[in-house]
Amino acid sequence: MRRDYFTLEVDGGPGDGAKPVVTIEFIGPEGQFEDRLVDESGATLDSKRIDVTYRLREGEMAPEATGVFAMTNRITGDYVFEVNVDGDAVLDLVHAAREYGKAAEIDDGRYQVAILAGDRQIASYDKSTFLVYDPDGELLRQHSLIPSGVEL
């Protein structure tokens, strides 16, 4: 699946008070993507079976950095999608999710990933964990969202 078949937008910045939403839009050929969001029984993957990560291509985490935002099937390890994203979107997401997590009275995840195909929402995931890696695959804890009590 080509990275240029996807776009990413982060809504809900710091001070907004709302849960940040990462909107992923699939703009590739119809019928090539939705099967990646289901398991072997045909059921849509739930939040517990999805991992969300960002891997820098080079350098350090900064607004002008470039990297790859990815979602994988936690059970199989298969990529659901990858999309090229600038560091500023990731930094905005992490900051907004931390602020939301501090202010939220219920634990319903720190951010949401909404996946669209055309004008249809085909999946939505409430997530608390978001792992950011440097180009060598080392976890950047200071830029990641790791719930308390989770060991990596």
pLDDT in tens, 57-105: 999 999 999 999 999 999 999 999 999 999 999 999 999 999 998 888 7
CA distance 125 to 72: 13
Q: What pLDDT sits at residue 80?
A: 96
Strand partners, 41: none
Residues in the chain, how many? 152
pLDDT at 120 exceeding the cut of 90: yes
pLDDT at 45 exceeding the cut of 90: yes
Q: What pLDDT sits at residue 64?
A: 95
Q: What pLDDT sits at residue 130?
A: 98
Q: What pLDDT sits at residue 143?
A: 97
Strands (E) in 92-148, as ranges, are 111-117, 120-127, 131-133
Q: Is residue 25 part of a domain?
A: yes
Q: Is residue 149 part of a domain?
A: no
Q: Is residue 141 part of a domain?
A: no
Kindly state the greatest CA–CA separation across the chain: 41
Instruction: Please tell me the pTM assigned to this model.
Output: 0.92
Q: What pLDDT sits at residue 38?
A: 92
Q: Compute the average pLDDT of residues 118-143.
A: 96
Listed residue (54, 78, 81) closest to 66, CA to CA: 54
Q: Is residue 39 part of a domain?
A: yes
Q: What percent of the chain is predicted at pLDDT more than 90?
A: 78
| Residue written as token pair 């910045």 | 13
pLDDT at 17 exceeding the cut of 80: no
pLDDT at 13 exceeding the cut of 70: no
Q: Is residue 151 part of a domain?
A: no
Taking residue 38's Cβ as centre, other Cβ atoms within 10 Å add up to 13
DSSP category for residue 20? P
Q: Is residue 108 part of a domain?
A: yes
Q: What pLDDT sits at residue 151?
A: 67
Strand partners, 7: 25
Q: Is residue 152 part of a domain?
A: no
Q: Compute the average pLDDT of residues 34-50.
A: 93
Q: What pLDDT sits at residue 82?
A: 97
pLDDT at 118 exceeding the cut of 80: yes
Structural domain including 89 reads 3-136
